[in-house]
Amino acid sequence: MPKISLASRFLITLVVSAVLPLLLYGWFSLRSMREQIDEQVVRVFLPQLAADHAQKIDAQLQRTDQACAIVREIARRALDSAAEMAAFEEQVELVPDLLDNYLDLLLLADPDGKVVYWQDGQRLDPSAHGRRAALIPASVEDTEWFQRAQRERGVQFLPWGRSPYLHRGLEYRSMDPGSHHLGLAVDVPRPSGPPGVLFALLRWSEVQLVLDQARDVLASRANLPSAQVLLAGRSGTVLAHTDRAMYGLPLEPPELEQQVAQAHASGRGAFRSADGTAWRVGFAPCGLEGARDFVVAVVVPEAELFAASDAFEQVLLVAILVTLAVLVFWSLIASRAIVAPVRALVAATRRVASGDLAVSVPARGGPELGELAGAFNQMASELLQGREKLVALKREEAWAEMARQVAHEVKNPLQPMRMAAQLLQRARVDNDPRAEAIADRLARTVLEQTQALDRIAGDFRAFAGVAPAQRTPVRLDDWLHELRDQCAGLFVGKPLELQFVAGAGDAQVALDSNTMARVFVNLVQNALEAAPAGVAVALRSRVDGDRAVVEVADDGPGVPDAARQHLFEPYFTTKSSGTGLGLAICRRLVEAHGGTIRLVRSQAGETVFALELPVVAAG
């Protein structure tokens, strides 16, 4: 069983003695307070909100009916003569907001049902006035509302919906509030004979505006973004909704429809939607004291409605957690004051082990730990000085090795030139008739050996060189095909069979053609020198993910096992001559192109080198 530190025990004691009682007290207090807050919100807030907006809708309908009553009084005289009708048209225009905010259609029919006046609302699309004019009949004598208004007198309320006097295709379910209306028909008495009838379509967009404003208040001020406000009939049909897609649909779920049908006074309810979300709802009836029997409902998800009490609960929990964090913080400070010097020493030791010797620890924690820190700092300083000396020594050894290799390689070409020069000098002193032939041989020797010196200088320069000066995107298979032809011309007359198997398709790589060609020429040259009697070399290309792979395979004797791990090291060679930089230079050139080179396998009759280069996108 693991041991518990003193700091951990102290921390556990503080939690059990201080935090646990606070947590229990807060929990029980919160449950009681939350129930009271939630009940107050559901019992008062939602029904009152629904009642307030029901009153606004009632007021809107009341103003509309009053405006129609004024028009009815004006129309009493209009049916008696054409002159009075002209005056009627002028007087109707003076009724405040009548055809602007209240009505979308006003129609007057004489006692015989003939339409003697009609006017559409000013907020309707003026470009569609001609289409609406075609929908207005010449006579409404056969309509049910006209006959009922003449028979029963008084205001006759028409059901909510789309009117054939403003819209075609009444079977289409529109989700535009402007496509729906409440109609009314009222008789226009005459001194003698049957009355005329005044017909009006109330502008339903004004009712929708009340619901939208209620929704905005709930979202912006009450922080209830998912709240919904709707107006429904007793039949359960949605007559107006903040979600336009609900227009004309039955209320869902059935629990909500049933509660709307029974909402004869302001009240509240609850239901669950099809996805399991719990909702609370407040009801209020409206419709001019029952003349139009509607219900306003404010529907809010419980999660948002009770967010305030949830937030209070979270605040209490956060307060407990903060208290716990403070206790933990102070206990950690107390324990850290004791163990911090030791941890700093351990961390510094790990840095030294990873190679960072420029590290020191502060001398703190009392005389004992301070003395230990001082000894550690001295040790790290001495190690750093030793490493710097070792690096300098290795650098000097590297330069000495480079100088030795250069001297050794330069000495080999100089020896035959010196011998040829001495022979020519002796022949001229002795008046040897072969002096001219010896001079020619000396010239050839000097030319051959200076070429050898140039190759040696080129190897050392390439080994110490930089990345290729310029890389150009090329299609790999095309470039390898050209390279094969160049190598064939370069090794003409040599026992070499060179093949190329294209498999990279359209893959492109970015390379310096001259420097990368040197890599392949070096590999082919090595294969030929390893098998002077004749060798077959194959170049094979392919694509592996985002890398292009080129394999250089030969059927030579293979690389000795002891030499494989040193192939790419500088100055290593299995030949009797040469700088030993060939494969080292190849590796540097390939890595400068962002690639790699490696020996895949080697045995008698098969040696395979693989070069991998990054594929670039076609430009």
Whether the Cβ atoms of residue 109 and residue 146 lie closer than 8 Å to each other: yes
pTM: 0.49
Q: Give φ, ψ of 108 to 5 degrees.
A: -125, 125
Inform me whether the pLDDT recorded for 12 exceeds 90.
no
Q: What is the pLDDT of residues 520-576, one digit of tens each?
A: 888 888 888 877 788 888 889 999 888 989 898 888 877 777 666 656 666 545 554
Read off the pLDDT of each residue in 462-486 and give the average, rounded to a whole number: 75
Query: Is residue 269 within a helix (H) or strand (E), and if so which, with residue range?
Result: strand 267-272
Whether the Cβ atoms of residue 251 and residue 231 lie closer than 8 Å to each other: no
Q: What long-range pairs does 307-313 form, CB within 8 A, spacing at least 24?
A: 307/223, 308/37, 308/41, 309/33, 309/34, 309/37, 309/38, 312/30, 312/33, 312/34, 312/37, 313/30, 313/34
pLDDT at 199: 94
What percent of the chain is predicted at pLDDT more than 90? 12
pLDDT at 411: 53
Find which of 31-35, 356-360, 605-609 is predicted with most confidence, using mean pLDDT: 605-609
Residue 542 exposed, middle or buried by CB count within 10 Å (0-12, 13-18, 19+)? middle
Q: Which of 134-148, 260-274, 451-465 has the lowest mean pLDDT?
A: 451-465
pLDDT at 136: 92
Q: How many CA atoms lie within 13 A of 386 on its CB side?
A: 8
> What structural domains does the chain harbor?
79-203 (3.30.450.20), 472-616 (3.30.565.10)
C-alpha–C-alpha distance, residues 56 and 63, integer Å = 11
C-alpha–C-alpha distance, residues 338 and 120, integer Å = 89
pLDDT at 19: 60
C-alpha–C-alpha distance, residues 62 and 474, integer Å = 84
Q: How many CA atoms lie within 13 A of 483 on its CB side?
A: 31
Inform me whether the pLDDT recorded for 67 exceeds 50.
yes
Band the pLDDT of 1: cuts 50, 70, 90: very low
Inform me whether the pLDDT recorded for 604 exceeds 50.
yes
Read off the pLDDT of each residue in 261-283 and give the average, rounded to a whole number: 86
Inform me whether the pLDDT recorded for 90 exceeds 90.
no
Q: What is the pLDDT of residues 38-59, one digit of tens each?
A: 667 777 788 888 889 889 988 8
Specify the DSSP class assigned to residue 114: B
pLDDT at 10: 55
What percent of the chain is predicted at pLDDT more than 70? 67
Average pLDDT, the chain: 77
Inform me whether the pLDDT recorded for 6 exceeds 50.
no
pLDDT at 37: 64
C-alpha–C-alpha distance, residues 339 and 317, integer Å = 32
pLDDT at 454: 56
Band the pLDDT of 153: cuts 50, 70, 90: confident
pLDDT at 520: 83
User: Which residues are CB-contacts of 102 (< 8 A; sequence separation ≥ 6)?
Assistant: 63, 64, 67, 202, 203, 206
Q: What is the pLDDT of residues 188-221, one digit of tens each?
A: 988 778 899 999 999 998 899 999 998 998 888 8
Which has more pLDDT, 273 or 438? 273
pLDDT at 138: 93
Specify the DSSP class assigned to residue 465: -
Q: Give φ, ψ of 252 to 5 degrees.
A: -130, 140
C-alpha–C-alpha distance, residues 237 and 241, integer Å = 11
pLDDT at 588: 81
Inform me whether the pLDDT recorded for 410 exceeds 60.
no
